[in-house]
Amino acid sequence: MADNSPTTPTPSDLTRKYAHAGHPSIEELMAAQGVTFPREPRDFLGNCWPEDESIDDFLAALHDWRGHVKNDPAA
């Protein structure tokens, strides 16, 4: 029996395919790069801040990360 499982195209296959045909679709790009779309909305949530830290600590860190100086009236 022949193996009918899909194969991932190599970069050279994609170069030949799209050299004359135009740009690939989003679905083709995702398949070629092995990207999957999250199925659960919870997967979009980041874990960027500990839950036990206050919102004031988060906002102070955010201002610091963005380069704002607290004594600068324009910040």
pLDDT in tens, 21-66: 678 888 888 888 988 888 888 877 777 778 888 889 888 888 888 8
Q: With residue 64 as reference, give the H or E element that holds it.
A: helix 55-65
User: Domain spans of the chain?
Assistant: 11-39
Q: pLDDT band for position 4 (50/70/90)?
A: low
Residue 72, CA atoms < 13 Å, CB-side half-sphere: 7
pLDDT in tens, 16-33: 666 666 788 888 888 889
Q: pLDDT band for position 2 (50/70/90)?
A: low
Q: What is the mean pLDDT of the chain?
A: 76
More confident site: 8 or 65: 65
